[in-house]
Amino acid sequence: MLLLLVIGVSTACGGKEPSPGGEACENHVPLAGFPATPIRARIGRLTIRDQKDRRVDPVMGAASSEVGLIQGSFFDVSAQTSTAAVVLEFPEIDGTAGSCIGRVSRATVGGTRRGLMLSGLSVEGTSLGTLEVPSTALGVYVYTGDPLIVEQRLLRAVGQASDDFPGFDVTVSALEPMNVLAPDPRGDDELGFADLTVAWTAGTGDLVQIVIDPTDEPSTAESGGQVTCLVPDDGCYVIPSSAIEFLLASGATRFDLSIERQRIAGAFPADDAYVGVEVTSEMMITVKNGVLVQ
């Protein structure tokens, strides 16, 4: 995934000409600049996601699917304990505070959490109109089907109160579809011991989350090997070489790269309860390990 390579990147970097040093990608917000989920005893999360899958499998070939997903989870976490994941924070190319972390180990979770049911859960304003989201397990709601997000349309998530969880009514505006420009969405580009320019069509999301995950790493991969970057939705970001070297150390031959535009809204329907509603447009592609002998 030892051959030296040149990473192929598009010159379309948010309308700017990228450079090897990453000077074209400016004004990035350090990881600490993004807010965390408020801590409450009862937590609800609802994600409305359109997902494009263009990953390439060496046996099955290239995928080309587009789906819409609604995923909700509602839990009482007051009896749950956890320790933080162990991560490495990679500085920006100029040495300032970074927007990327590498996961060395996952968080450990103890105690119990109790699933909470609503009397009903619906999402209005989708491409299919109003959808009633079915419960698939205690505290879990899932819908999957055609793409859901219509640009510039308001999405309204309505939870009907139950004895478990208070009712809520959260509105969030839809966002532009995510389209990746670089690395090559056809899966031909490779990671090497160099910075990696990631480019996409710029939009108005609250942030863009870039995740690179080894797809065929050893069984110990559950302990880490993933890089996550949270950056502004300006169409361009240069992932520093230190983060790429962290990925290459996994020994994986291929990596899944996800770029996800996000818009987030939240509400406090009770003193001990928080619900976050997230609208996302995601595109997933494949990049290769360019330093292993194929």
φ/ψ of 150, rounded to 5, equals -110, 120
**For residue range 84-124, what is the model confidence (pLDDT) as tens digits?**
778 888 988 777 778 899 988 887 888 888 999 999 999 99
For the entire predicted model, the pTM comes to 0.86
DSSP 8-state secondary structure symbol assigned to residue 133 = P
Q: For residue 230, is pLDDT > 70?
A: yes
DSSP 8-state secondary structure symbol assigned to residue 91 = P
- Partnered with residue 98 across adjacent β-strands are none
Residue 152's nearest CA partner among 170, 133, 132, 127 is 127
Helices first, then strands: H and E counts in the chain:
1, 23
Q: Which residues contact 59 (CB under 8 A, 6 or more apart)?
A: none
Write the burial class of residue 122 (CB in 10 Å: 0-12 exposed, 13-18 middle, 19+ buried). Answer: middle
Evaluate whether 23 touches 208 at the Cβ level (below 8 Å).
no
**Both tokens of residue 67?**
């789906």
- pLDDT at res. 280: 97
φ/ψ of 241, rounded to 5, equals -60, -30
Mean pLDDT is lowest, of 127-136, 220-229, 232-241, 264-273, for 220-229
Instruction: Tell me the percentage of the chain whose pLDDT exceeds 90.
Output: 63
First to last CA, the chain: 7
Alpha helices in 102-234 (DSSP H): none
- CA atoms of 208 and 184, how far apart (whole Å): 18
Q: How many CA atoms lie within 13 A of 226 on its CB side?
A: 20
Neighbours of 170 (CB within 10 A): 18
SS3 31: helix
Domain ranges of the chain: 31-289
State the pLDDT confidence band at 33, using cuts at 50, 70 and 90: low
Residue 6's nearest CA partner among 248, 190, 251 is 190
Mean pLDDT is lowest, of 72-81, 84-93, 194-203, for 84-93
CA 33: distance to chain centroid?
Answer: 17
For tokens 């809204």, the residue is 265
State the pLDDT confidence band at 9, using cuts at 50, 70 and 90: very low
SS3 161: coil
State the pLDDT confidence band at 28, using cuts at 50, 70 and 90: low
- CA atoms of 12 and 18, how far apart (whole Å): 8
